[in-house]
Amino acid sequence: MPKGWRSTTLIPVITLLAFAVLPHLYNNQFLLFNMMMYMALAQGLNIIYGYTGYLPFGYVGFFGAGAYGGALAITFLHWSPYLAVLAGGGAAVLLGMILIPLFRLSGAYFSIASLAAAEALYYVVANPGLEPLTQGPYGISLPQVYDPNGAYWTMLAILLFSLIISGVIRRSRFGLALSAIRESPLSASMSGVNVVKLRSISWLLSALIAGLAGAAFGWYISVFYPETVFGLGIGVFTIVFVLFGGIGTVLGPMIGTLILYGVYNYIGISTPEYFQLAYGLLIMILVLFLPNGLVSLARKRGLNVA
């Protein structure tokens, strides 16, 4: 196996072992669940931001769409929660398709427009007029499928899926073409790359992962409100974890999540509002001074980072 592929395989294997064993050593399953969730979201965001350079501030919209998509499949179609998680992924992909025209915008305009789209979806879902469908502001409750263990293992599967997709992209010609798009869309098309198609595929993969994670989250907590799953906090955390760890790699978002979500849980739980502020500032500092994240420091020292 070539060197690069070995580390690409190693990361999912270690992750699988760690999250399979940890619940037996540590009794806060919800924290472990959230850790996996943020790791998956970080990989998902990395696929669109790390490779193509488009940073959707409204990435949480896919998460919320997934949570509601899954919940509606359970409530109205009486699907099993496992199928409902897939439905959540599908709902996010659908939303992603609707939002593809946003790519006509560049840079910051794209980022802000995606945020506006996520906010708009939040207001639609939370609208009391939609109570028969979404329960509006009163929230969703899914007691009939309550099963934290089932949701835990599902989230682990989603995380592994995101790691495998991310690893394959990193090592494939598809990933190389995506990196070319990030560096210069014009030169990429001059190299024969179908920029619109490849960017859309990575966008939808990124949406899919967030949608699956959102649906599994909704299942795990089984009672949630629009602001729980469309809250900007989830989006800010995901962005800061990816930026901190390092974009365009598989390992970077994992390390970023491990450290920053770890720190947050260690000292931040009691004062979450300060953390959102602190992490918001951290995003600005990272973009300005360490745009390629922690792993870029390792790479500067000659280490080959997966």
Which parts of this chain interact with other proteins (CB under 8 A)?
Answer: 173, 176-177, 179-180, 183-184, 186-196
Question: In the bound complex, what is the minimum distance in angstroms from residue 105's beta carbon to other proteins?
Answer: 18
Q: Nearer Cβ to other proteins, position 268 or 293?
A: 293
Q: Nearer Cβ to other proteins, position 186 or 288?
A: 186
Residue 223: strand pairing partners: 141
What b/e readout covers 162-190, taking b as 16+ CB neighbours within 10 angstroms? bbbbbbebbbeebbebbbbbbeebeebee
Question: In the bound complex, what is the minimum distance in angstroms from residue 84's beta carbon to other proteins?
Answer: 38
CA distance 70 to 84: 4
Question: In the bound complex, what is the minimum distance in angstroms from residue 195's beta carbon to other proteins?
Answer: 7
Q: Centre a 10 Å sphere on the Cβ of residue 274 and count the other Cβ atoms it contains.
A: 11
Residue 305 corresponds to which tokens in the numbers above? 């980072």
CA distance 68 to 228: 11
Residue 137 corresponds to which tokens in the numbers above? 């502001």
Q: Nearer Cβ to other proteins, position 196 or 298?
A: 196
Q: Nearer Cβ to other proteins, position 179 or 228?
A: 179
Residue 198 corresponds to which tokens in the numbers above? 């490849």
CA 14 from chain centre, in angstroms, equals 20
Q: Under a CB-based contact definition with an 8 Å cutoff, are residues 139 and 223 in contact? A: yes
Q: Nearer Cβ to other proteins, position 186 or 303?
A: 186
Q: Nearer Cβ to other proteins, position 100 or 120?
A: 100
Question: In the bound complex, what is the minimum distance in angstroms from residue 209's beta carbon to other proteins?
Answer: 24
Tokens 């919209």, residue? Answer: 61
Question: In the bound complex, what is the minimum distance in angstroms from residue 152's beta carbon to other proteins?
Answer: 38
Q: Nearer Cβ to other proteins, position 228 or 296?
A: 296
Nearest to 64 by CA among 234, 299, 220: 234
Q: Could you give the angle at the alpha carbon of 166 between the alpha carbons of 105 and 177, nearest 5°?
A: 55
